[in-house]
Structure 1
Amino acid sequence: MSGMQVFIFGAGYSAKAFAAQRPDKTIRVAGTTRDEAKFPTLQAAGIAPLTFDGSGFSTNIISALADATHLITSVAPDDAGDPVLAAGRETILGAMPNLSWIGYLSTVGVYGDHQGAWIDETAECRPTSLRSRRRVEAETDWLTLGEKMGMPVAVLRLSGIYGPGRNAFVNLRDGTAKRLIKKDQVFNRIHVADIAGVLWHLAERNLGGVFNVTDNLPAPPQDVVAYAAEVMGVEPPPETPFETAELSPMARSFYGENKRVSNGLVRNAGYSFRYPDYRAAFDAMWAGGNWAGDSGSARSPIRAS
């Protein structure tokens, strides 16, 4: 790993967890954000911050890319396609002499609805939302670029992300937790530490391919809230029928997709999940007192809905 340098487009929640897990402090990590106000939090996480608004690569970005050995991107596609490729495909192709691996963070939303069935990476992608259709196109673009470069590209299809500061404990504390009931509905989820762990596992070994990065236990969302309330020692919010719940169009669209996603391929690649299910993760976060993350004190008053 000596000399490893990582560049991240879209250095947000997962990227900060990734930087915090680096196994060797000599590994340099740079990452982009749209907002310079986020520079201090990236620097605190060990990420050298740069701005990228999708319109082009600055000289600072081009310079950092020239030294990078590993490239990670989590920037969501827009109407024009993948913003990173649109802004700098030729730079990636011709001005990154040290590059040996690319990681692209996608979503299990690319699979669409499979009516609760178990699926793996061989399942048909039949996305229902525009944002997921764009993700399929972006995945293809990055994999095609990798083939052209003779470069391994790992596409990580992520389930719903949670971790410190983003979890049912926080929602219960803030009074925003809901127990929505939709018959037979299940979701997978993934702790941010395991996203970081999988990224390091694949990057260190220069492994390419498509990988589901998700937990072992797809479960009804109301069960997750109920378990968090039990751990906290508070009353869970009342059950609410999905049909009558007040939800944003995006939130409601998530319930239109029902599937159980297997993580067997990434486990076969040698990765052991730190948090194989939400119960293990909630138990650890509560015991460790880090569940609130940067969202406030773990000792804040609890307001159950």
Structure 2
Amino acid sequence: MRLLVFGYGYSAHAIAERLRTAGHEIAATVQTAAKAGQLSRSGIRARLFSDGDRDPAIAGEIAASDAVLVSIPPDQGGDRVLAAFGEAIAAAPRLGWIGYLSTVGVYGDHAGGWVDETTPVVPREGRSRLRAEAERAWLDFGATRGKATHLFRLAGIYGPGRNQLAQLAAGTARRIVKPGQVFNRIHVADIAAVVEASLMSPRAGAVYNVSDDEPAPPQDVVSFAAKLCGIAPPPEIPFAEADLTPMGRSFYDKNNRVRNALIRSELGVVLRYPNYREGLTALRASGEGPNNRARVETSG
């Protein structure tokens, strides 16, 4: 199978590496020549796609692909991939699967209640509204152009190099407490497993929540990471006193518990990391987090 990935970010990298290991052929778009060279050396065909550069070879990649994964966020003009390459994707003779990486943020705020794929999409702020509009555009495109389109609504992504252990090591971890607030999470390896399962069993118009089994307060996750490292957690900070960017504060405007039953019942996915404890424990075992000796010497 040949997969073309639009936007080779953190999650797309994990998906591509899983599929390459399974023997599939990967091409990807990137924004810089430096990133293109890096990918090419790793065995992935890289094509430039940015505001100022569009590699003409992308059209040929689309025509030769069996599947397309879109991992580029929309902007005020809508979905950039659909705008630039919609006609080429519609005309691609072999292409039978389109995947779009979205966010559970499109559900808006349900005051800590449970949401699933049937819950109405009611995003409250700009970024989530743009995502919801892009979702609708891709589903409409798939339905009218005969291309099986799939939405993956991702929870908060963590994994190697991007987790509370790494934040503790960098001295940036904070325990911000907003009573009743929970967040949903998903390890990047489990995202890759869900996308692979969908590729092997496509269903036109499918929507999947990609989240682990246990929504949890963010301060509990930091405390557990600190315990794994044998250090004291950072002090609690009341949400009202936290120095957050507008984007950071916006995450706390949504308080949901995300159900993930569909990825199990329909795709047969068994999460490798069904909760943050298992995920962080594995990351700590791989060497992530602060060095205890260095932390003791620094604090002493």
Q: What TM-score do you get using the length of structure 2 for normalisation?
A: 0.93
Match of 1:89 in 2: 86
Q: Structure 1 runs of 4+ off > 6 angstroms?
A: 297-300
Amino acid corresponding to residue 271 of structure 2 in structure 1: F
* Rounded Cα–Cα distance in structure 1 between residues aligned with 2:17 and 2:49: 22
> Structure 2 stretches of 5 or more lacking a match?
none
The residue number in structure 2 matching 1:187 is 183
Structure 1 residues 91-110: aligned runs within 5 Å: 91-94=88-91, 96-110=92-106
Count of paired positions: 295
Q: What is residue 274 of structure 1 aligned with on the other side?
A: 272
Q: CA deviation at 1:37?
A: 1.8
Structure-1 residue corresponding to 2:155: 159
What is the TM-score with the length of structure 1 in the denominator?
Answer: 0.91
Shift of 1:35: 1.7
8 A contact 1:20–1:46 mirrored in 2? no
Which residue, out of 264, 283, 287, partners 2:281?
A: 283
Q: d(CA) in 1 for partners of 2:20 and 2:57?
A: 26
Q: For residues 118 and 8 of structure 1, what CA distance do their matches in structure 2 show?
A: 32
- Choose from 107, 113, 116 the match for 2:112: 116
Question: What is the distance in 1 between the residues matched to 2:32 and 2:20?
Answer: 28
- Residue 102 of structure 1 aligns to a residue whose secondary structure is strand
Aligned twin of 1:21: 18
Amino acid at match of 1:158: L
1:10–1:31 Cα contact (<8 Å) kept: yes
- Does the 8 A contact of 1:16 with 1:47 survive in 2? no
Give the structure 2 partner of residue 263 of structure 1: 260
Distance verdict in 2 for CA 1:273–1:15, change over 3 Å: same
**2:26 partner SS:** strand
Instruction: Give deviations 1:83-118, integer Å, cap 9, x for gaps.
Output: 001111111112x11101000000000001000001
State the secondary structure of the residue aligned to 2:19: coil
RMSD: 2.0
For 2:2 and 2:143, the matched residues in 1 are separated by 22
Structure 1: gaps (5+ residues): none
User: Which residue does the alignment assign to 1:69?
Assistant: 66
How far does the alpha carbon of each residue in 1:277-302 deviate from its partner, in whole angstroms, 9 at most, with x for none? 1101111111233x37xxxx979944
In structure 2, what residue type is equivalent to 1:275?
Answer: Y
Say whether 1:201 aligns with 2:205: no
Of 135, 138, 141, the residue aligned with 1:139 is 135
Q: CA deviation at 1:43?
A: 3.9
Distance in 2 (alpha carbons) for counterparts of 1:212 and 1:274: 16
**Match of 1:22, SS?**
helix
Instruction: Kindly indicate whether the alpha-carbon contact (under 8 Å) linking 2:230 and 2:292 is maintained by their aligned counterparts in 1.
Output: no
For residues 299 and 260 of structure 1, the distance between their equivalents in structure 2, rounded to whole angstroms, comes to 34
CA shift at 1:206, angstroms?
1.9
What residue is the counterpart of 1:53 in the other structure? Answer: 50
Distance (Å, rounded) in 2 between the aligned partners of 1:58 and 1:246: 42
